[in-house]
Amino acid sequence: MSKKRWLADWANSGTKPAIYHCVSRVVDRRFVFGDEEREAFRMFMRMYENFSGCRVLSYCVMSNHFHLLLEVPPTREDGISDELLLKRLGALYSEKFVAGVAGELAATRVAERFAGGTQSRVREIHERFNYRMESLSHFMQGLLIRFTRWFNRKHERTGTLWEERFKSVIVESGIAAKSMAAYIDLNPVRAGMVEDPADYRWSSYGEAVGGGRKGNGKKAREGLVRAYLCHRGAGFEAEKWRDVSRGYRRLLGMALARKASGSDSKISSTSDESTRMNDAEYLANGGRKSGLLPELTVARILCYRVRYFTDGAVIGSREFVNEAFAASRERFSKKRKDGARRMKGNGSAARDHLWSMRDLRVEV
């Protein structure tokens, strides 16, 4: 199978979201990110989110790596307006720079209008920046380079900070997207840094619950609402957080109840009764009727490291993975008949609901 990065071939069709789980690690996996570094990373992440039009659905910044669940929007055939371009530039550049571009655009539009031109010069100005927008590779490249420069200046070092090119996996909306979001938010729990994911400041859930540096957590809430409900048509609607937070907390709680193996844990103090039930009790109390059986099953794997989530290429339903396989048939040998592969090892509990493009045989 080709090592070329997997990209959603439907990204510009608007038929379904193009969502990716992205991971990058510090060279030699050294633990070099303290509170200040993690806060700076989140700042740069939000800057590039505002600049690029890509949206962070879920994230977690650890001591030597980070996870992002990123949605890349379709590229607009007719481009973006001058107003939106200048707004996006303001996320990365100084007021003076943005004012210079604004003046250049205004003067060019006047000149081309009087000359009866086709506004080709205006398009050239836009293209200087547009190619870096609505792009997975350019989002990640810009974020990693900008943070590396900040980190190197702060620590008086030179050279690369990241051990290799970032990993990315295509994630289907629905059960796969919300499970991946929960998997990301549970990173500090799996690492033994906190008992409750709400207590970790540098994650989407911690920011959504705690409010983040600016005290509102709106961006984090919008992202988690989208991750949890995008398959039902929900956008980045922070006002839906109250309802989504209950279901998301339940998913996190079911995973941690597994981890606790019946012992008491901080997460069990949540008001959601389902997190304090075992499987039989939960199903008897309406879990199956409410359509949460897949979540209950998938929750079994979230408190463990699941290599498929970082190396599986495509994660989702069997139909979703096979559709991606058919669209990229040339990547595979003629012997391979379909794409979907059952997950093994730590991922085996979710095998009826989540499938992988790659068949990982070791360290699964």
Q: Each residue of 136-187: pLDDT tens digit?
A: 999 999 999 999 999 999 999 999 999 988 999 999 999 999 999 999 999 9
Cα-flanking dihedrals φ and ψ of residue 130, to 5°?
Answer: -60, -30
pLDDT band at 279 (very low <50, low <70, confident <90, very high): very low
pLDDT score for 364: 43
**Is 207's pLDDT higher than 90?**
yes
In-domain check, residue 148: no
Does 298 lie in the same domain as 279? yes
Does 170 lie in the same domain as 107? no
Express each pLDDT in 101-114 by its tens digit: 999 999 998 887 77
Does 24 lie in the same domain as 64? yes
Count of domains for the chain? 2
Express each pLDDT in 227-268 by its tens digit: 999 988 888 999 999 999 998 998 898 888 766 554 434 444
Which CATH number is 266's domain given?
3.30.70.1290
Domain-terminating residue out of 304, 319, 338: 304
Does 173 lie in the same domain as 36? yes
What's the pTM?
A: 0.88
Q: Is the distance from CB of 183 to CB of 306 less than 8 angstroms?
A: yes
Does 110 lie in the same domain as 213? no
Express each pLDDT in 60-73 by its tens digit: 999 999 999 999 99
Does 180 lie in the same domain as 59? yes
Query: Can you list the positions of beta strands (E) in the chain?
Result: 18-25, 55-61, 65-72, 167-171, 314-316, 341-342, 355-356
Among left, alpha and beta (phi > 0; psi -120 to 50; other), residue 226 is alpha
d(CA 328, CA 231) in angstroms, rounded, equals 23
**Is 116's pLDDT higher than 70?**
no
Does 205 lie in the same domain as 105? no
Cα-flanking dihedrals φ and ψ of residue 207, to 5°?
Answer: -70, -40
- CA–CA–CA angle 157, 25, 143 (5° rounding): 70
| Long-range Cβ pairs for the range 206-214 (8 Å, 24+) | 207/42, 208/241, 208/245, 209/245, 213/39, 213/42
In-domain check, residue 150: no
Does 96 lie in the same domain as 52? no
Name the helix (H) or strand (E) containing 96: helix 95-115
Window from 45-54, 210-219, 236-245, 300-309 with minimum mean pLDDT? 210-219
pLDDT score for 212: 59
**Domain span at 206:** 18-74+161-304
Does 188 lie in the same domain as 61? yes
pLDDT band at 3 (very low <50, low <70, confident <90, very high): low
Does 222 lie in the same domain as 169? yes
**Is 281's pLDDT higher than 90?**
no
Does 178 lie in the same domain as 123? no
pLDDT score for 97: 97
